[in-house]
Amino acid sequence: MSVKVNVDLQKERQKCNFNMQEVTFIFDCGKEQTLQRKKIENIALNSGASIDAVPEECLSLKERYDNAVRKSCIYSRIVKNELLEITGLEAFGSPLLRRMADAFFKDISPFMLHLGMFVPTIIGQCTAEQQAKWLPRALEMQIIGAYAQTELGHGTFIRGLETTATYDPETEEFVLHSPTLTSYKWWAGGLGNTANYCIVVAQLYTKGQCHGTHPFIVPIRDEETHEPFPGVKVGDVGVRMGCNTADNGFLSFNHYRIPRENMMMKNAKVLKDGTYVKVARHDKLTYGTMVFVRVTLVKEAAINLAKAATIAVRYSAVRRQSKPKPDAPEPQIIDYQTQQHKLFICIATAHALQITGDWLWRTFRDVLTEMRGGNTDSLPELHALSSCLKAISTSDSAAYIEQCRFACGGHGYMLSSNLPLLYSFVTATRTYEGDYTVLLLQTARFLVKAWEQVEAGKSVTPTVSYLTLAATKEKVLWNDFAEGIIRSFQAVAAGKISACAETIKRHMKTGMCYEDAWQLTTVRLVAAAESHCRSVICQTYWNEIARLTASCSANVKIVMEQLVTLYLVYWALERSGDLLRYSTISEKDLNRLQDRYEELLALIRPNAVGLVDAFDFRDEILQSTLGAYDGRVYERLMEEALKSPLNDEPVKASFHKYIKPLTKGKL
């Protein structure tokens, strides 16, 4: 394949001074993963099945849905027949398969939650007997499932869900019912028009008593005709900011009956006579699934940001604008310091999040092993970590994707750049599976407890051992080595957490109860949790890069260290107010940091295109007119424009019907 590559991009690639493949291995978290990924990409993408003749966004809603189903079926067949053998069952819904799915769907497949939630929940919540019944059918795609928990009236507060499942011992059935409008299930992906089964989370009533929320497998549409069953009301929730091919649906029940056996009974049972039996470890294991999903979201945040950075950096190497010097040609916009300031932090952050996500993933697996042995001591720490990392990574990623879009000016606003869709996808992950603010407050609760332990002279878990820094009430000594910056971030976090604890006490002294005092400290608590999370990311990124580059070639070590240093210095400057309050950093130190930051931008500049090339996204995955490997930016913008149905015919119906009568004064 001989593709003409933009000359400026070619020159950039010649400038790259490091071994790109080594960096690809780092970003993929290992050589094996890279090789596996490439194998999967070849199988999934080389057939061309992922490519649309007309861009998705030009289709009507119904056409988009039908097209997404078409591609989902092709993709499912590939996953079922070829990919699962390579990745194994646990890759379901993993970032690796997700990265592939991105080539098929600009946002999301209507089958995604079948693979990502329905199947894993069957594995996690069904008895062996139930698994034997449902799992093979689900894996073979004989049935297609959704997962419905959130309702119109309740998302964050699960205990407040209103859908009821009332056991009727006469018929040995559960009666599902939606008593109010707010009890309608809302948001479940794949539910609107696709799934014929749905896992429904409902308040379980038996023998007149409520036992809280439990999951049920509910047939909602006829397997033969696809018609919703009587007593089931199901449909699409309406158009969304993004994820419009995810088929998000609503669902309500009118005294709808399902067999007793359809309650997922691994963690709790209802016997034939209606007796409720709880099995131990229910909550802890549910916890586990939640952490798993969050880890996945952290890694997705990293990958999507890496895509945006690839698009914006390549475009910035191709785009030339303005003439700061009358006699010189227009510079590539990547040569502007402000552009480097917008983009290089995105490259660094993509690595930071990918590395921290992977570290969290490994920590999670260790904890899972411990848990299987009955030890759940690490769970609160892991929960606190996964909460804040999910919050910060999705929020940072979304904000930086927007920054990449801004950096591409008007052309970034074209959907064909793919930047708007990347944003609309990632910004959704900021909210679902735990809202940003709610999650940071969960982390804050853990942090305040940890601080109380430190105050009481007790030992604490590793990620919060730095809290002892706050005990002295003295500013930490500033130094601008990486370790010094990280130490200062820890001092900031420790200082803020201890200040929060004091604020809570101060409020309580006025007679408030703990919960009111907590409430009046939440703005500070969110900030404290953010500082904690930032210090964890900084430390993990720094430690892991040293480990991961240990056997790398010299220039890879250099450029990777430049990136992590950029990340640390960037955040030190962003949080100068915090550092001035909790460390001995001086005005002079801050000026030196700013100089160093700008030097780093200049040092990274020649390798910028090499760094995004090393993320190794195929054009099918980037789906971007601005970011394709060949840099044919303007040609692609024009080619995409011509695909719009608005360019099918030169004169539209509305001219004759409205415009002409208007201009002729006859309307």
Q: Which of residues 567-586 bind a second copy (CB under 8 A)?
A: 575-581
State how far the Cα of 401 lies from the Cα of 611, in Å rounded to an integer: 17
CA angle 116/202/293 to nearest 5° reads: 25
223 lines the binding site for a second copy (CB under 8 A): yes
Question: Which residue matches tokens 């201009």?
Answer: 663
Q: Tell me how crowded residue 654 is: count the other CB atoms within 10 A of its CB.
A: 9
Is 225 or 551 the residue whose CB approaches a second copy more closely? 225
Using the contact rule CB under 8 A, the part of the chain among 193-201, 351-359, 374-382, 532-540 near a second copy is 193-201
* Sites for a second copy among residues 133-162 (CB under 8 A): 140-144, 150, 152-157, 159-160
Among 27, 205, 518, 541, binds a second copy (CB under 8 A): 518
The answer to the question of residue 325 lying near a second copy (CB under 8 A) is yes
Tokens 């919050």 — which residue? 391
Nearer to a second copy, 62 or 458 (CB): 62
Give the range of 98-106, 353-361, 435-443, 611-619 binding a second copy by CB under 8 A: 435-443
**Closest separation between CB of residue 519 and a second copy, Å?**
6
Q: Amino acid identity, residue 303?
A: I
Q: How far is the CB of 25 from a second copy (least distance, A)?
A: 32
Check binding of 81 to a second copy (CB under 8 A).
no
> In the complex, what is the shortest distance from the CB of residue 395 to a second copy, in angstroms, rounded to a whole number?
9
Contacts with a second copy by CB under 8 A: the residue count is: 136
Which residue among 10, 19, 166, 193 contacts a second copy (CB under 8 A)?
Answer: 193
The CB-of-118 to a second copy minimum distance in angstroms stands at 14
Among residues 36, 45, 38, 44, the alpha carbon closest in space to that of 86 is found at 36
Binding to a second copy, residues 337-396 (CB under 8 A): 337-338, 341
Cα-atom radius of gyration of the chain, to the nearest Å?
Answer: 27
Per CB under 8 A, the list member of 123, 127, 281, 432 interacting with a second copy is 432
By CB under 8 A, residue 641 contacts a second copy: yes
SS3 label, residue 456: coil
Is 230 a residue that touches a second copy (CB under 8 A)?
no
Judged by beta carbon, residue 529 or residue 614, the one nearer a second copy is: 529
Q: Which is nearer to a second copy, 36 or 182 (CB)?
A: 182
662 near a second copy, rule: CB under 8 A: yes
Is 89 one of the binding residues for a second copy (CB under 8 A)?
Answer: no
Residue 228 DSSP SS3: strand
Number of neighbours of residue 606 by Cβ within 10 angstroms: 14
Q: Give the length of the chain.
A: 667
Judged by beta carbon, residue 23 or residue 527, the one nearer a second copy is 527
Cα dihedral: 448, 451, 452, 453 (round 10): 130
Phi, psi of 280 (to 5 degrees): -65, 170
Phi, then psi, of 423 in degrees rounded to 5: -65, -50
Per rule CB under 8 A, is residue 254 in the interface with a second copy? no
Q: Which of 3, 132, 279, 667 binds a second copy (CB under 8 A)?
A: 667
Closest approach, Cβ 272 to a second copy, in A, equals 31
Residue 657 binds a second copy, judged by CB under 8 A: yes
Supply angle C-alpha 178, 183, 186, rounded to 5.
115
CA atoms in the 13 A half-sphere facing the CB of 280: 4
**Is 336 one of the binding residues for a second copy (CB under 8 A)?**
yes
**Residue where the block lists tokens 């398969």:** 97
Dihedral over Cα of 156, 160, 163, 169: its sign: positive
> Which of positions 550-569 make contact with a second copy (CB under 8 A)?
none
Could you give the C-alpha distances from 330 to 322, 409, 434, in angstroms and in order?
Answer: 5, 16, 47
- Segment contacting a second copy (CB under 8 A): 86-94, 286-294, 547-555, 653-661? 653-661
Residue 297 CB neighbours (<10 A):
24
Candidate list 237, 271, 290, 508; residue touching a second copy; CB under 8 A = 237
Read off φ and ψ for residue 3, nearest 5 degrees.
Answer: -105, 135
- Does position 415 interact with a second copy (CB under 8 A)? The reply is yes
- Of 36, 479, 522, 543, which lies in the binding site for a second copy, with binding defined by CB under 8 A? 522
* Contact status: 598 vs a second copy (CB under 8 A): yes
Q: 21, 431, 465, 553: which one contacts a second copy (CB under 8 A)?
A: 431
Q: Hey, is 249 helix, strand or coil? A: strand
SS (H, E, C) 571-597: HHHHCHHHHHHHECCCHHHHHHHHHHH
Rounded distance, CA 175 to CA 258, Å?
A: 7
Q: Which residues are catalytic?
A: 433
Parallel, antiparallel, or unpaired for β 276-278 and 232-236? unpaired
Residues 167-186 that bind a second copy (CB under 8 A): 181-182, 184, 186
Q: Least distance to a second copy from the beta carbon of 420, Å?
A: 4
Instruction: Render the burial of 448-459: b for 16+ CB within 10 Å, e for the rest.
Output: bebbeebeeeee
* Choice from 128, 456, 550, 651 touching a second copy (CB under 8 A): 651
Which CB sits closer to a second copy, 58 or 135?
A: 58
Q: Which of 594, 603, 605, 629 binds a second copy (CB under 8 A)?
A: 594
Distance CA 134, CA 371 (A): 26
Q: Whose Cβ is closer to a second copy: residue 20's or residue 59's?
A: 59
Stretch 616-635: interaction string toward a second copy, x if CB under 8 A: ------------------xx
**Candidate residues 133, 240, 281, 596; the one interacting with a second copy per rule CB under 8 A:** 240
* DSSP secondary structure letter of residue 80: I
State how far the Cα of 23 lies from the Cα of 534, in Å rounded to an integer: 23
Look-up of token digits 């910035």: 316
Q: CB-based contacts of 593: which residues, under 8 Å, 6+ apart?
A: 480, 569, 572, 573
The correct pick among 63, 82, 129, 377 for binding a second copy (CB under 8 A) is 63
Cα–Cα distance, 597 to 601 (Å, whole number):
6
For 421, residues 6+ apart whose C-beta sits below 8 A from its C-beta are 106, 107, 242, 415
Q: Tell me which of 239, 277, 456, 550 binds a second copy, using CB under 8 A.
A: 239
Of 136, 212, 235, 259, the one binding a second copy by CB under 8 A: 235
Residue 58 or 290: the one with the smaller Cβ distance to a second copy is 58
State how far the Cα of 261 lies from the Cα of 258, in Å rounded to an integer.
8
With a CB cutoff of 8 Å and minimum separation 6, the contacts of 580 are none
Is 53 near a second copy (CB under 8 A)? no
Site for a second copy, residues 481 to 500, rule: CB under 8 A? 499
Closer CB to a second copy, residue 283 or residue 330?
330
Query: Should residue 474 be labelled a site residue for a second copy when binding is judged by CB under 8 A?
Result: no
When asked if residue 614 is in the footprint of a second copy (CB under 8 A), the reply is no
Please tell me whether residue 34 binds a second copy under the rule CB under 8 A: no
472 binds a second copy (CB under 8 A): no
Residue (of 520, 490, 477, 481) closest to 502 by Cα position:
520
Establish if 428 lies at the interface with a second copy (CB under 8 A).
yes
Q: Which amino acid is at 103?
A: A
